[in-house]
Amino acid sequence: MQEIISEIDQWLADGRTPIALATVIQTWGSAPRRAGAKMAVNAAGEMAGSVSGGCVEGAVVEAARQTLADGRPQLLHFGVADETAWEVGLACGGTIDVFVEPLNEKAYVFQRQLITQNEAGAVITIIRGPNKWVGKKLLVGADGRAQNSLSPELAELAAPQAQNLAAPQPIQLTNEIEAFVDMVRSSPSLVMVGGVHISIHLAAYAQELGYRTIIVDPRRAFASATRFPHADKLITAWPQKAFAEIELTGDTAVALLTHDPKIDDPALEAVLDSPVFYIGALGSRKTHAKRSQRLQAKGFSDQQIARIHTPIGLNIHAATPAEIALAIMAEITQVRRS
């Protein structure tokens, strides 16, 4: 949803309505977009977003126009076994389900608020079942409170399932009723220890991918607003103090880039026993062997030390600071997606 908020906001402000919203519900094979990807179409035929990177957009736009005309949601299926698949460009073997509905402004405002305030929640939509329920929604906030257009019975079936999901996906409520849980997760964070040249590029890459960026460095000349005007937060303190004010969650990545044990080691001590999904440290294998000895002397186990990705980044034969930053961001992405 995040990628089309600005366009939908503008359409609503300009009165370019009604608007249809298409959402990828499920994919198999080589379909290029994940569940939850969205495309919006307004009455003038303007489009925002994508549900397949170009493969099925034409067919979805036609379905959106029909939905705008009659107000009825549609669950579309494109697959290689269908003649339609060849027409829309999925002959390579991918299949995709797309739900098309009139934009529900209450649900849109709710989801927009979750995204802009960096909060978690879910929009649950009935996508298959009796006509009176298709398109009805349950909005669940981070605190578990719900805004409901479902029956109490369906809400009781849907809400607990939504809380256990980590990504958008369909769920079966009854034998005849299926829903789609459109999860909104808080933005991931990247903590860079060391305001070095690599961090300047890494912060830019991370923000492009939707990460909140935090620079930690006790050296004010390194962690300065002049060097990092694009960073979300600068903490000019030693790691022991800095990490006390950083929330470390399963959506946090940490990259240690100073190559200075006085700074990197205390940072490692702060994060090795935390739930962060990625820990990377700059340095050669020889450097890491010495680092491991120091951590073992501090009481850290081999299993904890093995969490450290080093040499940091994917091996793309990077040479410049920008290329090293690219390799690091690629590795962080690989770990998060796997």
Name which of 283, 120, 118, 113 is nearest 189 in CA terms: 118
Q: What is the count of structural domains for the chain? A: 3
What is the mean predicted confidence (pLDDT) over 320-327?
97
Q: How many helices (H) and strands (E) does the chain have?
A: 11, 16
Are 235 and 289 found together in one domain? yes
Q: Which of 135-139, 165-169, 212-216, 237-241 has the lowest mean pLDDT?
A: 165-169
Where among 48, 83, 102 does a domain terminate?
Answer: 102
Residues 276 and 152 in one domain: no
Task: Dig out the tokens for 123 from the structure.
Answer: 């929009």
Average pLDDT, the chain: 89
Q: Is the dihedral of CA 193, 195, 198, 203 positive or negative?
A: positive
pLDDT of 153: 83
Domain limits for position 153: 105-184
Please report the pLDDT score of residue 82 as a whole number.
46
Q: Do 167 and 237 sit in the same domain of this protein?
A: no
Q: Looking at the structure, do residues 90 and 121 belong to the same domain, yes or no?
A: no
**Confidence class for position 32, pLDDT limits 50, 70, 90:** low
For 248-285, b where at least 16 C-beta lie within 10 A, e where not — what string? beebbbbbbbbeeeebbbbbbbbbbebebbbbbbbbee
pTM of the model: 0.68
- Tell me: do 302 and 162 sit in the same domain: no
Rounded mean pLDDT, 24-35: 77
| 206, pLDDT greater than 50 | yes
Is 321 found in the same domain as 193? Answer: yes
What 3-state DSSP class applies to 200?
helix
Each residue's pLDDT tens digit, 211-250: 999 999 999 999 999 999 999 999 999 999 999 999 998 8
- The answer to whether the CB of 25 falls within 8 A of the CB of 107 is no
H or E element that contains 335: helix 321-337
* Residue 41 and residue 68 in contact, taking contact as beta carbons nearer than 8 Å: yes
- Mark which of 87, 102, 117 sits at the end of a domain: 102
Find the helix or strand (DSSP H, E) in which 139 lies: strand 137-140
For strand 169-172 and strand 178-184, is the pairing parallel, antiparallel, or unpaired? antiparallel
3-state secondary structure of 218: coil
Instruction: State how far the Cα of 72 lies from the Cα of 322, in Å rounded to an integer.
Output: 49
36 and 143 both lie in a single domain: no
Task: At 25, list the tokens.
Answer: 């519900």
Indicate if 118 and 65 belong to the same structural domain: no
Average pLDDT over residues 81-109: 73
Instruction: Report the C-alpha gap between 105 and 256 in whole angstroms.
Output: 43
The dihedral built from the CA positions of residue 183, 325, 257 and 334, taken in this order, carries a sign that is positive
Specify which residues 279 forms β-bridges with.
254, 308
